[in-house]
Structure 1
Amino acid sequence: MNSHEDRLSTRQTAERLGVKPETVYAYVSRGLLTSHKSPGSRGSTFDAKEVDALARRHSRPVATGAGTDGVAPGTTTIRTGITLIDRDRYFFRGVDATALATAYPYEEAADWLWTGRITPGLRFTAPEELLSATTAAVAALPAHAGPVDRLRAAAVAAAAADPLRFDLSAESVHAAARGLIAAFAGSPPVIGRTHRADAPIARRLWARLSPARPEPAALRVLDTALVLLIDHDLAASTLAARVAASARANPYAVVSTGLSALDGPLHGAASGLAHRMLLDVLERGAAPVVSEHFRAGHRVPGLGHRLYPGEDPRAQVLFALLDEVPGARGALDAAQDVVEISARHTPLHANVDLALAVLSVTAGMPAEAGETVFAVARTAGWIAHALEEYEERPLRMRPSGSYAGPRPPQPLP
């Protein structure tokens, strides 16, 4: 054991790290510091070398070379090493994303994307005070609040409950992300079978989205979908999240920004439109439903993706897994009918939203279930982009506006 001289009190540790004493204990709860109770003493002591190592990891030099507002003029391209989309395939850090999704559960894949390490059996958990705060915040919302409303409220509450939210070191961001995703999976009310607090994220989500018993094959579809949806290059919500990270917003604020951009029919809510369409098809048949969409000048939900000239690889993987789910045949056939009838007018393939809709219809989930799955999954991607952006020059994404208003001087109104 270290000698007494090698140990620091809580006050000394806080001074060396430049934080408050309560923040020191938050570091302990996250596993970033190890505390030791001395015999006959009520206070905790800390290893000086461990404290100094933490201080070094958390010190990051401020980047230079920008203008007076920290902006590099003419920045138009965002370099990223997270996702590559190439024709009809996509890759996470060079690894085929569909292969990753079928090989690893969501927690392991997400953590690998952040750290470069696979930790078998990893579970995401949140501190009790954070879970209490997020559960109370979500419960205070009106009954008609949507899934993104609930997740935004949970993100704000989680941030308020975390005294380390402004610590942007990689280790602290990783811990915040694991706790936030656990809170997201644990905030909505349970409508299915109960579960342990350390159950896999897919199992926890299922209990909040479906009253049906979670068949292993169906749970595998949900878990695979979570991995497939972790990231998809610079989608609108991801770009928004990176802009927030560029301004050094904390990880909870980064995720809140991503959720705000996700909250729309052209992004995260698309699977809900496909869900409602499939229910209509199951009741009336595909031909009249597809015909009504074309007659109204609307796109058929769940078809086509501008980044894939062929089939959406995410949909391919999920449809193959759904084929093994008991009770999914009706929704699968309805989806196939929609694709075949629509192909007579326009050659579009099924996308991931249609696959999510097949799962949500089969499992008796609400129409918004796919949006919840999308948002929880993409949280890991936003965190990966935030970690990448935190290493860049602050405030680098500051475009210049092209003024198109009246030329001055104008009379005072």
Structure 2
Amino acid sequence: MVWMTAAEALTILNVRPQTLYANVSRGKIRAKADDADPRRSLYHRDDVLRMARRANGRRKIDAVSAQAMQWGDPVLPSSISTTADGRLLYRGQDAAVLAASATLEEVAALLWECDASRIRAALPARHDAPPAAAAPTSFLGACLSSLATLAASDAPSLARPADELRADAATILATLTETVAGPPPDGAAGLTISARLAHAWGRPNQEDLIRRALVLMADHELNASTFAARVAVSTGASLAAGVLAGLATLSGPLHGGASAQFARLLALARQTGARDAVAQWLAGGRPLPGFGHPLYPEGDPRARALLEMLPKTQPHAALAAEAEAQAGELPTVDFALPLLAATCGLPDDAPLILFTLGRCVGWLAHALEQAQANRPIRPRARYVGPA
């Protein structure tokens, strides 16, 4: 069951009722009224189990470190982005507010702490980079190839001036843009990245929605791909090598590939109906793709910012209703991006493209920050093997 009673939650947590209620009021444990008895509340299983994994009192260093790797305390200090009170903040500015008007280039300038003109000047990408050995057949393959080419030729990041590294960052973003969208049309070299994508997809009237999505995907604290990028750059590797590490990590089905998992759930909903699709998925013991984010108990603000701009369509709307009814989960950006693509008539791989191109800005921001730290990231392992 997704929901449990107070007695069951208290048994698992081994705390007093006041502590349980305090965690609910702080948004750490979701609660809802019991349909069988509205005077009682039910508590979300995943939230209770996550809180139970936190040891009471002062934790030993190995427990703190282990938790830090799994939705625990932040692993590294960073001034780039964070989540607070259900909002995503870029250097203290609300990402949803920025998405209303800012371009991806302007957000890059904010996160990289430079002037947006430097980034615009780098578009289109440099053309002196050698082409890939073979023509990749997928968006992901093309991006991995172009980044690998840059990583093999770009200078290491170690001990280089910040301005030089920012120039590298602008070139990397421009190269990835050209890999995805192709060269700008004749006479339109000054197009923004979102306009380039809209032109490449033949949807110029949807440029504003594309721009919003790119801005909302620009960064998300120390997610798996960002951490991978920072680890690579912490060794002194080039910024391109860091972005390559980030993209390779993003390709996994539990990260950027979540949109592909949602597509399977959507196909199942079209076959069996939303209620049965959600029930079947949950019966398999799998988390619902596109729903529920540990950082946002009250709902993903990135998804909310996009969904308020999109019409309600089926079976998406029915899936959202059933996910909340059966699992207590709300839509995430992995729900919103496929809905945006379907609404705007974008290619099937548009959600991953928007995720990748937007998040490249954040990877580069973290790479720049990590390069200035000038020390390797080297966690310790807690050995649990044979003596």
Letter of the structure 2 residue corresponding to residue 154 of structure 1: S
Amino acid at match of 2:262: A
What residue in structure 2 maps to residue 127 of structure 1? 126
Residue 392 of structure 1: aligned partner: 373
Query: What is the one-letter code of the residue matched to 2:225?
Result: S
Asked whether 1:302 is paired with 2:290, we answer yes
Q: Does 1:213 align with 2:203?
A: yes
* Alignment deviations for residues 138-172 of structure 1 (CA, whole Å, 9 cap, x no partner): x82453x4x33321111112344556877732212
Larger mean Cα displacement after TM superposition, 279-288 or 227-236: 279-288
1:174 aligned to 2:173?
no
Structure 2: gaps (5+ residues): 1-64, 69-74
Cα distance in 2, alignment partners of residues 403 and 289 from structure 1: 41
- Paired residues of 1:148 and 1:375 also in contact (CA < 8 A): no
- Structure number with bigger Rg: 1
Residues 308-327 of structure 1 show CA distances to partners (whole Å, capped at 9, x for unaligned) of 0101100111112224xxxx
Counterparts in 2 of 1:149 and 1:387: CA distance versus 1, 3 Å: same
Q: Relative to structure 1, is the Cα distance of residues 289 and 123 closer, same or farther in structure 2, using a 3 angstrom cutoff?
A: farther
SS of 2:256's partner is coil
Residues 195, 367 of structure 1: alpha-carbon distance in 2 compared, 3 angstrom cutoff: farther
For the pair 1:248 / 2:240, whether they are aligned, the reply is: no
Look up the match of 2:94: 96
Which residue type is aligned with residue 228 of structure 1?
L
Q: Secondary structure at the match of 2:191?
A: coil
In structure 2, the residue matched to 1:115 is 113
> What are the superposed Cα offsets for residues 227-265 of structure 1, whole Å, 9 maximum, x if unpaired?
111111110111111111211111000101111211101
Residue 406 of structure 1 deviates from its aligned partner by: 4.1
Residue 404 and residue 252 in structure 1: after superposition, are their counterparts in 2 closer, same or farther (change >3 A)? same
In 1, Cα distance between equivalents of 2:84 and 2:381: 32
| Equivalent position to 1:361, from 342, 358, 366 | 342
- One-letter code aligned to 1:224: R
The aligned residue for residue 85 of structure 1 is 83
Stretch of structure 1 that moved more, 256-265 or 166-175? 166-175
In the alignment, structure 1 segments of 5+ residues that lack a partner are 1-73, 324-328, 408-413
**Aligned counterparts of 2:272 and 2:241: Cα–Cα separation in 1:** 44
Letter in 1 for 2:321: E
Residues 272-296 of structure 1 show CA distances to partners (whole Å, capped at 9, x for unaligned) of 2224444554576423433332343
TM-score relative to the length of structure 1: 0.68
- Amino acid corresponding to residue 242 of structure 1 in structure 2: R
Corresponding residue of 2:331: 350
State the alpha-carbon separation in 2 of the partners of residues 356 and 163 from structure 1: 35
Residues 400/302 of structure 1: CA separation in 2 closer, same or farther (3 Å cut): closer
Deviations 1:198-239 (A, max 9, x none): 42111223344x3x4331xx2111111111111111101111
2:148 counterpart of 1:156: yes
1:374 equivalent in alignment to 2:373: no
How far apart, CA to CA, are the structure 1 residues paired with 2:231 and 2:154? Answer: 22
CA RMSD between the two structures: 3.0
1:252 alignment partner AA:
A
Please report how far the alpha carbon of residue 124 of structure 1 lies from its aligned counterpart in structure 2 after TM superposition.
Answer: 4.3
Q: Distance in 2 between matches of 1:121 and 1:154?
A: 19
Q: Contact (CA 8 Å) 2:148, 2:240: kept in 1 or not?
A: yes
The percentage of counterpart residues that share the same residue type is 32
How far, CA to CA, are the matches of 2:380 and 2:281 in structure 1?
40
AA at the equivalent of 2:252? G
Q: How many residues align?
A: 315
What is the CA-CA distance between 1:123 and the residue it aligns to? 5.7
Q: Distance in 2 between matches of 1:148 and 1:182?
A: 16
CA distance in 2: counterparts of 1:282 and 1:195, whole angstroms: 44
One-letter code of the match for 1:260? A
In structure 2, do the counterparts of structure 1 residues 273 and 402 end up closer, same or farther at CA, with 3 Å as the change threshold?
closer
What residue is the counterpart of 2:364 in the other structure?
Answer: 383
3-state SS, counterpart of residue 315 of structure 2: helix
What TM-score does the superposition give when structure 2 sets the normalisation length? Answer: 0.72
Establish whether residue 257 from structure 1 lines up as the match of residue 249 from structure 2: no
Give distance in 2, aligned partners of 1:281 and 1:197.
Answer: 43
Partner SS, residue 82 of structure 2: strand
The letter for the 2-side match of 1:368 is: D
Q: How much has 1:340 moved relative to structure 2? A: 0.9
